[in-house]
Amino acid sequence: MKINRIYVLFIFIVLSAALLISPAAADGNETETNTTVTNTTVTSTISSDISAGSTWDNYLVLTYSGSINGGTADSWEWNFGDDSGTSTTQSGTYTYSETGSYTVSLTVTSSDSEITDATIDDSVTISEPDFNASADIEMSESSLLIDYDSTTEGAESWEWDFGDGEGTSTYESGSYTYDDTGTYQVTLTATSPAGDTDTYYEYITFSAAPEACFTVDNTTGSSPLYVEFTDDSEENPYTGEDIVEWYWEFGDDDGSYYHAYEDDDDDPDTSFTFEDEGTYTVTLTVTDDDDEEDTYEVEIVVDDDVSPEADFSVDDDYDTEGSAPLTVAFVDESDESDDTGAEIIAWYWVIYDEDGDKYDYSTAQDPEFTFEDEGEYTVTLTVTDEEGMSDTETKEDYIEVTLDLSATFTASPTSGYKPLTVNFYATDGSDNEYDIDYYYWYFGDGLTNLGSDDSPSHTYTSPGTYDVKLIVIDEKDNRYTYERDNYIVVTGTNTVTTTPTATVTPTPQATESADDTLLAVSSSAGTKIFGLPGTEYFRTEITRFHEFYSEYLSLITGVFGMK
């Protein structure tokens, strides 16, 4: 019986404890409204989680989700508070048509609860993100046209003002063409769906000036530093006016005037040698036909201590003088900077002809050049080290090239009566390096034969003595001149109808010794000239002297026989 009393006491304590325990809602993490449903068997809690979008892509979108704890939901009913939006899904998204504050209700039914439905309400505000106007404006490089495009997020309407007093637009993007060069303020006013506005400004300039620019072959080095300047300026793309003036200034490091170069032709490139150490600002100002101008600057640094030292020679197996084609191998003998020890990494060789024009170039350390034209050549070497410092060595008239080119000519006949036709024959020199392409004949009477004929004929129509000159040009455009003075003799028309004959007869004289002879020349005119060695005696038929004189001249210059 004692055991039964203990058992009954235990049951009593358990029942008393059960009666003292009261139902309580389970804890949750949601901040929204919670409703507890209690019956004799199940206690359930429902909750909702809602959030609005924060960007212009989703600011009207509501994300919702419902949950039940302690029971089983049979249905979900959402009301989004805008008099149109509902849903029967546990979770999802809903898009409002406009901004505003809304009450979102969730009703849940549960079959294991004596209370078959429970409703909770939440508040949500749908609002626009920050509204900021922005735009992209692209200017044409060849015309007065711009392309405009609004990049404003969320904008519903656009108003453009192009700043010239005429151009406007209400399109989101497009293009616009101005009438004149100038500076313009482009304004975009954008409006959001809620009616908020914001404004974007941008200044654009269509310059009427040309664009000054130049490049240099060297910006650093030791003195004397020789620098070549190449003009890269461009005419104004909008006006098309030509550049007519280039003005160079090679200033010292104080900015004062040092030297100027001005050129109004088609080749404004120039060069300058900086004799002293320092930092120089080189300025190019270009001016066009409309007197519009632009300026471009480049800094040149001359430093003897940190630059390498350029030097070179000719390989011992080659000569600096010779006949074309002359091949010369050059040897780099440059030294690194004593201060920096920076390694030389670049070589730039330039060959200049007698006119100062660039004949050839190379970037090899030890190049070979072949000189095919006669003349004296200047050689420059510019070396650059890994620190970007450079130095230039120039040797003027360093290479002398002669040309083996010659020609002679003969002619037949070289004398005669007018009109006299003469055949000329050119002979090329046996040591010529290149073939002769052209023979330019100058016949001395103002007429020429310029072409490839090495054996022309020419007819002289007037009496006289003529110099003849031949200029030959080979396939490398080298020239050689050969001239013969007083080479062709042309006399007047032959008027003698018979060949005059001179008779020379020795005539003994009674008063002379047997060794003395008297020479008599008889002409066709009948006059005789007598001469005794050591004396002069003339017996002339005075009345026929004039006729004799004329015929005698013909005898001297004509063809005659002796007997």
Can you tell me which residue has the tokens 């009301």? 79
pLDDT at 39: 42
pLDDT at 307: 84
Domain 214-302 carries which CATH code?
A: 2.60.40.10
Q: Is the pTM of this model over 0.95?
A: no
Tens of pLDDT, residue by residue over 405-464, are 899 999 999 999 999 999 999 999 988 888 999 999 999 999 999 989 999 999 999 999
pLDDT at 210: 92
The class (CATH top level) of 135-206 is: mainly beta
Side-chain-side CA neighbours of residue 430 (13 Å): 0
pLDDT at 175: 97
**Are domains 214-302 and 407-491 of this chain identical in fold?**
yes
Distance, in Å, from the CA atom of 482 to the CA atom of 413, rounded to the nearest integer, reads 19
Domain spans in the chain, listed from the N-terminal domain onward: 35-126, 135-206, 214-302, 312-399, 407-491, 501-562
User: Along the 563 residues of the chain, how does pLDDT read in single tens digits?
Assistant: 444 443 434 444 434 444 343 333 333 333 344 444 444 445 677 888 999 999 999 999 999 999 888 778 889 999 999 999 999 999 999 999 999 999 999 999 887 765 555 789 999 999 999 999 999 999 998 899 999 999 999 999 999 999 999 999 999 999 999 999 999 999 999 999 989 999 999 999 998 899 999 999 888 878 888 899 999 999 988 888 888 889 999 886 554 444 455 555 567 888 888 888 889 999 999 999 889 999 999 999 888 888 899 999 999 999 999 988 899 999 999 999 988 899 999 999 999 999 999 999 999 999 999 998 889 999 999 999 998 888 889 999 999 998 888 999 999 999 999 999 999 999 999 888 889 999 999 999 999 999 899 999 999 999 999 999 999 999 888 888 999 999 999 998 775 544 444 444 444 433 333 333 333 333 334 444 444 443 333 333 333 444 444 444 444 444 444 43
What beta strand segments (E) does 135-213 contain? 135-139, 145-150, 157-161, 168-169, 173-177, 182-191, 197-206
pLDDT at 74: 87
Distance, in Å, from the CA atom of 375 to the CA atom of 359, rounded to the nearest integer, reads 11
Q: Does domain 312-399 correspond to CATH entry 2.60.40.10?
A: yes
Domain 407-491 carries which CATH code?
A: 2.60.40.10
Q: Which of 131, 149, 148, 132 is nearest to 140 (CA)?
A: 148
Domain 35-126 carries which CATH code?
A: 2.60.40.10
Neighbours of 64 (CB within 10 A): 22
CA-to-CA separations, 517 to 149, 170, 407, 536, in angstroms, rounded: 126, 132, 53, 13
What letter represents residue 189's amino acid?
T
pLDDT at 456: 96
Q: Cβ(473)–Cβ(479) under 8 Å?
A: yes
